[in-house]
Structure 1
Amino acid sequence: MGLLLLLFAQPAAAHPLAPALLELRETGSGRVEVTWKRSALRVPGSDLQPILPEDCPPLSAPRVEERGTAMLAFWAIDCGGKGLVGRTIRIDDLGPAKIDTLVRIELADGRKLQRVLRRSEPSMEVPERTTRATVFVDYLKIGFEHILTGADHLLFVFGLFLLCAGLAPLAKTVTAFTVGHSITLSLAALGYAQLPSGPIEVLIAASVLALAVDLARDAARPTWMRRFPWPMALVFGLLHGLGFAGALREVGLPDGEIPMALFSFNVGIEVGQLAFVAVLLALTPLVQRMPLPLPRRVAIYAMGSLAAFWMIERGAALL
Structure 2
Amino acid sequence: MQRVRLWLTGLLAGLLLLVSIGIRAHDTPVVSLTLTEIDAGRYSLSWSPADIDAALHVAFPGHCELQVQVLACGRKGLVGRLKVDGLGRRYAAVVLLVRALPGEAAAQTYTLTAAQQEIMLEPAAGNRLRHTAAVYLPLGIEHIVLGVDHLLFVLGLLLLTRGLADLVKTITAFTLAHSVSLAVAVFGWITVNEVLVNALIALSIAVLAVEVVHRQRGRTGWSQRAPWVVAFGFGLLHGLGFAGGLVSLGLDQHTLVGALVFFNLGVEAGQLLFVGLVLGMFASYRSLGVILSERICTGAIYGVGAIASYWFVARVSMMFSG
Pairwise same-fold verdict (TM > 0.5): yes
Question: Do the aligned partners of 1:197 and 1:246 also contact (CA within 8 Å) in 2?
Answer: yes
Q: Is 1:56 aligned to residue 65 of structure 2?
A: yes
CA offsets, 1:92-145, max 9 Å, x none? 123556834332322233422223323343222321124223223322222121
Question: Do the aligned partners of 2:59 and 2:82 also contact (CA within 8 Å) in 1?
Answer: yes
Q: 1:266 to 1:125 in 2, by over 3 A?
A: closer
* Aligned with residue 228 of structure 2, among 220, 227, 230: 230
Q: 1:95 to 1:216 in 2, by over 3 A?
A: same
* Aligned with residue 185 of structure 2, among 183, 188, 199: 188
Residue correspondence of structure 1 range 21-36 to structure 2 within 5 A: 21-28=32-39, 30-36=42-48
* Aligned with residue 241 of structure 2, among 215, 240, 243: 243
* Aligned with residue 278 of structure 1, among 256, 273, 276: 276
TM-score by length of 1: 0.82
CA offsets, 1:287-318, max 9 Å, x none? 34386881111100110111112112211111
**d(CA) in 1 for partners of 2:239, 2:135:** 20
**d(CA) in 2 for partners of 1:313, 1:116:** 32
Q: 1:159 to 1:245 in 2, by over 3 A?
A: same
Q: 1:84 to 1:203 in 2, by over 3 A?
A: farther
Aligned alpha-carbon RMSD (Å) = 2.9
SS at 2:253 equivalent: coil
* Deviation at residue 53 of structure 1 after TM alignment: 5.3
Show the counterpart of 1:300: 301
* Aligned with residue 91 of structure 1, among 77, 84, 87: 84
SS at 2:138 equivalent: helix
Q: Is 1:268 aligned to residue 266 of structure 2?
A: yes
Show the counterpart of 2:138: 141
1:231 alignment partner AA: V
CA offsets, 1:21-47, max 9 Å, x none? 33322233513232244998x9xxx94
**d(CA) in 2 for partners of 1:16, 1:168:** 36
Question: Do the aligned partners of 1:206 and 1:308 also contact (CA within 8 Å) in 2?
Answer: yes
Q: Is 1:12 aligned to residue 21 of structure 2?
A: yes
TM-score by length of 2: 0.82
**d(CA) in 1 for partners of 2:155, 2:183:** 24
Q: 1:99 to 1:251 in 2, by over 3 A?
A: same
Q: 1:21 to 1:180 in 2, by over 3 A?
A: same
**d(CA) in 2 for partners of 1:98, 1:281:** 34
Q: Is 1:212 aligned to residue 205 of structure 2?
A: no
Q: 1:134 to 1:123 in 2, by over 3 A?
A: closer
Q: 1:232 to 1:293 in 2, by over 3 A?
A: closer
* Deviation at residue 251 of structure 1 after TM alignment: 1.6
**d(CA) in 2 for partners of 1:39, 1:216:** 49
SS at 1:26 equivalent: strand
Q: Is 1:162 aligned to residue 159 of structure 2?
A: yes
Q: Which runs of 5+ in 1 are unaligned?
A: 60-75
Q: 1:212 to 1:38 in 2, by over 3 A?
A: farther
Same amino acid, percent of matched pairs: 31
Aligned residues: 299
Q: Which has a greater percent of helix?
A: 2
Q: 1:138 to 1:121 in 2, by over 3 A?
A: closer
Q: 1:255 to 1:286 in 2, by over 3 A?
A: same
Q: Which runs of 5+ in 2 are unaligned?
A: 1-6
Q: 1:300 to 1:224 in 2, by over 3 A?
A: same
**d(CA) in 2 for partners of 1:120, 1:4:** 30
**d(CA) in 1 for partners of 2:164, 2:293:** 24
CA offsets, 1:133-162, max 9 Å, x none? 322332222212111111111110111011
Rg larger for: 2
CA offsets, 1:38-68, max 9 Å, x none? 998x9xxx94443445743243xxxxxxxxx
SS at 2:79 equivalent: coil
**d(CA) in 2 for partners of 1:232, 1:22:** 42
Question: Do the aligned partners of 1:51 and 1:90 also contact (CA within 8 Å) in 2?
Answer: yes
* Deviation at residue 209 of structure 1 after TM alignment: 0.8
**d(CA) in 1 for partners of 2:226, 2:266:** 27
